[in-house]
Homo-oligomer: A and B are copies of this chain.
Amino acid sequence: MAQPMRKILVEFFYDTVSPYSYIAFQVINRCNKSWTNMDLKLKPAFLPAVMQQTNNAPPAMVPARGRYMSHDLLRMADFYKVPFKMPRNISDVMMNKGTISAQRLLTVVATEAPQYLEGLSREIFMRVWVRDEDVTMVESLKDACRAVGMGHEVDQLVGKMAHTDVKDELRRVTQEAIDYGSFGMPTFVAHLTNEPTMLFGSDRLFLLAYYLKQSWPCDVTEAKL
């Protein structure tokens, strides 16, 4: 009798404020269709807390890095065939507006309606990183929920965003990433053997493929973006 395939848990920590999280999110979910030994778990977390607690600074704080990042994001999106459009004011999106509400909503959904987590995360990511829409407003988040097929539960779920236990849960998941050694996002944690392997950045997806003995890059035609 054939051995049942051992699925390898891969946790993906992300914040919709992060453009590299966006690209990695699109790609890892695409890979998830063909990497049959991966058990992917989406973990919405809060990037600013990770940066602050580890004394890390966003790459764009160095002007030359910031200029490079704009090109690099377009190149990565082109390589992976991921829709991407630079927001008119990326520093306003990342530094001022942020995504605390969105990440709290995703935390609610992760707990109470996990069947919508992938879809809603994608919808929020695309509002920010493709359509340059503001996700700081509750109405925008409600629209996002409806866009992925939620019905009567929208008001109830959105209403829970500000609950203490939701804030605590987002803090807990963020702390989990930090405890794995994360200092930014996206962060992958692959439970390959006894010891979890933390991989930082969308540019370590090829290593994840290598460890999972899967092909990279994933075929762009095989799954919906």
Contacts and interface: CB of A to CB of B under 8 A. Distances in A.
Which 7 A-B residue pairings sit nearest by Cβ, starting from the closest?
A64-B183, A203-B203, A54-B64, A56-B62, A65-B183, A55-B62, A79-B210
Q: Which of A64, A76, A201, A210 has the most C-beta atoms of chain B within 10 angstroms of its own C-beta?
A: A64
A67 B203 contact: no
Interface in A169-214: 178, 181-183, 198, 200-201, 203-204, 206-207, 210
A151 interface: no
Interface string A56-87: 11000011110110011001100100000000
Contacts of A75: 207
Given A55-B62, A62-B56, A63-B54, A68 B181 contact: yes
Chain A contact surface mostly: helix
Contacts of A200: 68, 72
B204 A64 contact: no
A27 to B, nearest CB: 13
Size band of the interface chain A makes with B: 20 to 34
A91 B146 CA distance: 52
Interface string A20-63: 00000000000000000000000000000000001111000011
22 contacts: A54-B62, A54-B64, A55-B62, A55-B63, A56-B62, A56-B64, A62-B183, A64-B181, A64-B182, A64-B183, A67-B181, A68-B198, A68-B200, A71-B198, A75-B207, A76-B207, A79-B206, A79-B207, A79-B210, A203-B203, A203-B204, A206-B206
Nearest to A53: B64
Nearest to A56: B62
Contacts of A56: 62, 64-65
A204 to B, nearest CB: 7
A30 B161 CA distance: 53
A95 to B, nearest CB: 18
Nearest to A76: B207
Nearest to A216: B206
